[in-house]
Amino acid sequence: MKLPLPLLQSLQDVAGFDEKAFTAVHESGEQVTSIRFNPAKTGIKNKEWPGGDLIHASPLTTHVPWSSSGYYLPERPSFTFDPLFHAGSYYVQEASGMFLEQALQQTVDLSQPLRVLDLCAAPGGKSTLLQSLINKESLLVSNEVIKSRAAILEENITKWGAPNVIITNNDPAHFARLENYFDVIVIDAPCSGSGLFRRDPEAINEWSENNVQLCSQRQQRIIANVWPALKQNGTLIYSTCSYSSEEDEHILDWMNEGFKVEGVRLQIEREWQIIETIATNHQAYGYRFYPDKVKGEGFFIAVLKKRDGGAFAGLKSIKDNLEKLSNSETAIVKPWLQEASDFILFKQKAGIIAVPSCLQKEMAVLQSALYIKKAGVTAGKLAGKDLIPDHQLALSTIINKNIAHITLNRQEAIQYLRKEEMRIDTTYKGWALVVYEGNNLGWIKILPNRFNNYYPKEWRIIKQPA
């Protein structure tokens, strides 16, 4: 691996940079794999890797030090062939990026209902982390401007299973319509990607000094466009996977010059070896992750508080055109939900959507200002006096725990995820959940002489095992 000379030269005076160690770790070929558990699903059971036989049942002894549910794996398994990966029991996330947990916990009162925006959310790592930290009365708006990337974001949010997430597909400028609306905005900004060189050596070919400048300009536009949507004293968390000061500390300088902000200093443990940097004007703090110092990839993060603006005053015009279910329709859906009274049910095209009741007003506001791609959990669609349950419901955390289920072993679960022929020994007839190690994978409908596999065709495993 030959690192770009202009990059190395540009980092000579940057805090924490050690060219010899930095070059050596990139040339080592070392790869770091980490996962973060979904606390609403598996939890951490005896610190055992739930994929067990994929990596010889290695115990999870190495904790990501700044994460409450992140662990390093001793080797990288084929996640494709772990049913719990498809169940949303964990998310494969780069360890440095998990530091977002510290940035949020140290600067925001998470016991309060919050409106949180993850502006550049795909593929979903930071959104799933944010959702695990906020309380159930809070709202997470997970946005992705690129339509094709919004699809993988929707898939990962569906697997995570939470009902208090709304996925939008909007340009950052559109959020200015929601003046002073959000308590927290997270911007994991598009960048030149030098922090990912070790994980993705091909990214070196796309790096250039000119691209760094273009990314810096884009980052400034994104921040300026979304800034009105952050309320007074709201929290902005800015991050990149770039080492370049133009995309990191210089952005903090630019914000201090053009906006009323206050930098927030975070508490970091000495043994973490995260490097604290200070913006040129000494008004903001940034945190750098170097792969020769931390067990993770290159990363930069900073937290700022907005010191002007106000509180959300509402919109001039709100379209509250949600089509509610009739009492008889509601009666059909309720038995499928845990604590059904906590949700509002409405129709969207042919589907029945469940959203937490506490977010009803937020739904009306957001649909008036943004393009909503996914809201809450799709419970299914009505067919006469029956509900045809949706895959989102199967993976959700709101499903009734008493619904009939069929427990499969790993081989059977893989067959189900591949939509292959399999045998099920049961006298039960009707809709049933397919369960692996206590985690739902999807639906089957058991008929007198066969069963139908309702796992989404577009999600099925195609890859052949090694």
Helix (H) or strand (E) holding 348: strand 343-348
Radius of gyration for the chain, computed over Cα atoms and rounded to the nearest angstrom:
23
C-alpha–C-alpha distance, residues 91 and 254, integer Å: 34
CATH value of 317-400 in 1.10.150.120, 3.10.450.720, 3.40.50.720, 3.20.20.10:
3.10.450.720
pLDDT for 302 beyond 50: yes
Alpha helix stretches (DSSP H) within 12-74: 19-27
**DSSP-assigned letter for residue 30:** -
pLDDT band (50, 70, 90) for residue 96: very high
Which of 436 and 77 is assigned the larger pLDDT? 436
417 near 391, Cβ under 8 Å?
A: no
Distance CA 134, CA 184 (A): 11
Alpha helices (H) in 58-208, listed in sequence order: 83-86, 100-105, 125-133, 147-160
The answer to whether residue 282 scores a pLDDT higher than 80 is: no
| Whether residue 38 has pLDDT greater than 90 | yes
pLDDT at 76 over 90: no
Whether 214 has a pLDDT exceeding 60, the answer reads yes
Higher pLDDT, 74 or 432: 432
Q: Which residues pair with 345 in a beta bridge?
A: 354
Cα–Cα–Cα angle for 51, 199, 158, rounded to 5 degrees: 50
CB 107 within 8 A of CB 97: no
Partners of 381 in beta bridges: 388
Cα gap 458→426, rounded to integer Å: 28
pLDDT in tens, 316-372: 888 777 889 999 999 999 999 999 889 999 998 889 999 999 999 999 999 999 999
Tokens 């494969």 belong to 92
272 alpha carbon, distance to own chain's centre? 24
User: Please, what is the average pLDDT of the chain?
Assistant: 93
Tens of pLDDT, residue by residue over 215-273, are 999 999 999 999 999 999 999 999 999 999 999 999 999 999 999 999 999 999 999 99
Quote the pLDDT of residue 61: 65
pLDDT attached to residue 60: 66
Q: Give the model's pLDDT for residue 449.
A: 85
Q: How confident is the model at residue 55 (pLDDT cuts 50, 70, 90)?
A: very low
Helix (H) or strand (E) holding 193: none
Question: What interhelical angle do 125-133 and 147-160 show, nearest 10?
Answer: 40
Q: What gap in Å lies between CA 323 and CA 382, rounded to an integer?
A: 14
The CA-CA-CA angle for residues 26, 32, 36, to 5°, reads: 145
Segment 273-296 shows an average pLDDT of: 92
Per-residue confidence (pLDDT) for residue 5, from 0 to 100: 97
Rounded distance, CA 77 to CA 436, Å?
Answer: 18
Q: Provide the pLDDT for residue 46.
A: 44
Q: Torsion angle, CA of 257/130/167/114, rounded to 10 degrees?
A: -70
The domains spanning 95-306 and 317-400 adopt the same CATH topology: no
**Token pair belonging to 141:** 């708006």
Q: How far apart (Å, rounded) are the C-alpha atoms in residues 433 and 364?
A: 33
The pLDDT of residue 312 is: 94
Is the pLDDT at 50 greater than 60? The verdict is no
In the chain, the amino acid numbered 189 is: A
In angstroms, the CA 20 to CA 10 distance is: 15
Q: Are 115 and 183 in contact (CB under 8 A)?
A: yes
Measured between alpha carbons, how far is 332 from 385 in angstroms, rounded to an integer? 7
DSSP state of 464: P
- CA-to-CA distance for 366 and 321, rounded, in angstroms? 12
In this prediction, what percent of the chain has a pLDDT beyond 90? 84
At 49, the pLDDT band (50, 70, 90 cuts) reads low
Position 48 scores a pLDDT of 52
Q: Is the preceding omega at residue 123 within 30 degrees of 0, hence cis?
A: yes
Give the model's pLDDT for residue 446: 94
> Who's near 246: CB < 8 A, 6+ residues apart?
212, 213, 215, 216
- The H or E element containing residue 355 is strand 351-356
- pLDDT category at 59 given cuts 50, 70, 90 is low
Q: How far apart are CA 186 and CA 133, in angstroms?
A: 14
Quick one: pLDDT band at residue 47, thresholds 50, 70, 90? very low
pLDDT tens, position by position, 376-420: 999 999 999 999 999 999 999 999 999 999 999 999 999 999 999
Secondary element (H or E) of residue 365: helix 360-369
pLDDT number for residue 54: 47
Return the domain boundaries, the chain. Answer: 95-306, 317-400
Note the pLDDT of residue 318: 85
Q: Does residue 34 sit in helix, strand or coil? A: strand
Active site residues: 241
**For position 255, what pLDDT does the model report?**
96
Q: Tell me the C-alpha distance between 300 and 248, whole Å.
A: 7
pLDDT bucket at 56, cuts 50 / 70 / 90: very low
DSSP 99: G
Assign 58 a pLDDT band (cuts: 50, 70, 90): low
Q: Measured between alpha carbons, how far is 55 from 43 in angstroms, rounded to an integer?
A: 19
Among residues 451, 456, 395, 409, which one has the least CA distance to residue 428? 451
pLDDT band at 279 (very low <50, low <70, confident <90, very high): confident
* Residue closest to 405 by CA, chosen among 382, 454, 379, 438: 438
Average pLDDT over residues 206-210: 96
Class of the domain covering 95-306 = alpha beta
